[in-house]
Structure 1
Amino acid sequence: MTDDPLIADWTPEQIAVMHHLRDWVVDFGELNQHLAAWMRLPGADANALGQIIWAAEADTPLSPARLSKQIGMTTGATTILLNRLEAAGHVQRTRESTDRRRVTLRPTPAARDRARQFLGLAGTEIAHVLRTTPPAELSTVAAFLARMTAAADVATLRLGLTDADG
């Protein structure tokens, strides 16, 4: 097997996994567009708000700089986006760290409730699949996705270094 991904001899299972991952990304993007319409926000704002809500739910709230990386925007563009979300009553900037210069992003209770309403409507089938999949299968999938994410992180870091070199 060659290292060139365009001409490599991939197994049917490997090809199927990559197609399913691509399909999930496309479908997730479409769901994000529905969330944007539900929240009456531009797509980028809904994506950012979703990231902020998920991070807060996981008790790992984001900083503006981390959000910038996750949504692929410059810090300046992210600041403008956050100003819109804050003005619309969706996000609060807090200073929770002992370093008072560090800003933490939190969804407002109203934004969290509105997003939960959307997930209740849009997430029924996804929740069903998660709830009915055996724990061992979920563990296998989670481990695989963690490895894929780590590989993508390494590639992103390498590409970032390459971009910096010109």
Structure 2
Amino acid sequence: MYRRRDTPRERLVAEITTDLRRYAVDAQQVGHAFANLHGLNPTDLNALIAVMDAELRGDPITPGRLGEHLNLSSGSITALIDRLERAGHIRRDRDTADRRKVLLHYADQGAALAMEFFRPLGARTDTVMDRFSDDELHVVHRFMVEMSESVRAHRDMVRAARPEQSRRPTG
């Protein structure tokens, strides 16, 4: 697995792979720090991120889609949503177009906590991005989208290969 890298491209690819791994671990540690500070477990944090991402896309997530995203049973997702709602992190709203449908939204209290915690990281991120041209940022964006798709495809393959572990209750 750890062989000598002979060409400049092989060395660069190895460095980028190492950088991605370090970034993933560091980002996960920041997320866990936020979760620990607010009494959240890793699944709670992943749920909040999914709710936030869906809202940013302008397509609020339903409990069913959240359960699919997190690979949780309907009972587990209901308990998770109840817990996050009681803690003031999310809220449930009825869809105005289809009153039978429930949509999940980031609650004001939860958004304020996240904003306070992540604001310094956002400022650091802005500083880094300011060092890159628009063209460079487009390349970075394309790279990140494709790497994320690759990781999700691998995650889904692993889930499919281990059906007995695919739907675990959350704590």
Identify the TM-score tier after normalising by the shorter chain: 0.7 to 0.9
What is the deviation of 1:8?
8.8
Task: Return closer, same or farther for 1:123/1:8 CA change in 2, 3 Å cut-off.
Answer: same
Relative contact order, higher structure (CA 8 A, sep 6+): 2
Which residue matches 2:94? 95
What is the deviation of 1:162?
4.5
Task: Return closer, same or farther for 1:47/1:147 CA change in 2, 3 Å cut-off.
Answer: closer
What is the deviation of 1:107?
1.1
Deviations 1:39-92 (A, max 9, x none): 333333233223322332332322223323433433322221111011122211
- Specify the SS of the correspondent of 1:104: strand
Deviates more, 1:129-138 or 1:68-77: 68-77
Which residue matches 1:148? 147
Which residue matches 1:33? 32
Q: Distance in 1 between matches of 2:4 and 2:66?
A: 37
Gaps of 5+ in 1: 1-5
Q: Distance in 2 between matches of 1:27 and 1:18?
A: 14
Deviates more, 1:30-39 or 1:52-61: 52-61
Which residue matches 2:115? 116
Q: Counterparts in 2 of 1:49-64, with a 5 A limit?
A: 49-64=48-63
Any conservation in 2 of the 1:32–1:47 contact (CA below 8 Å)? no
Deviates more, 1:51-60 or 1:75-84: 51-60
Q: Distance in 1 between matches of 2:161 and 2:45?
A: 31
Gaps of 5+ in 2: 164-171
Which residue matches 2:168? none
- Specify the SS of the correspondent of 1:73: coil
User: Aligned-residue CA RMSD in angstroms?
Assistant: 2.7
Deviations 1:3-47 (A, max 9, x none): xxx589971122122211111111111111121133333333233
Amino acid in structure 1 at the alignment position of 2:25: V
Amino acid in structure 2 at the alignment position of 1:49: L
Deviates more, 1:149-158 or 1:25-34: 149-158
Which residue matches 2:19? 20
Q: TM-score, normalised by structure 2?
A: 0.76
Deviates more, 1:28-37 or 1:117-126: 117-126
Q: Distance in 2 between matches of 1:104 and 1:18?
A: 37
Q: TM-score, normalised by structure 1?
A: 0.78
Task: Return closer, same or farther for 1:74/1:38 CA change in 2, 3 Å cut-off.
Answer: same
- Specify the SS of the correspondent of 2:59: coil
Which residue matches 1:82? 81
Task: Return closer, same or farther for 1:15/1:65 CA change in 2, 3 Å cut-off.
Answer: farther
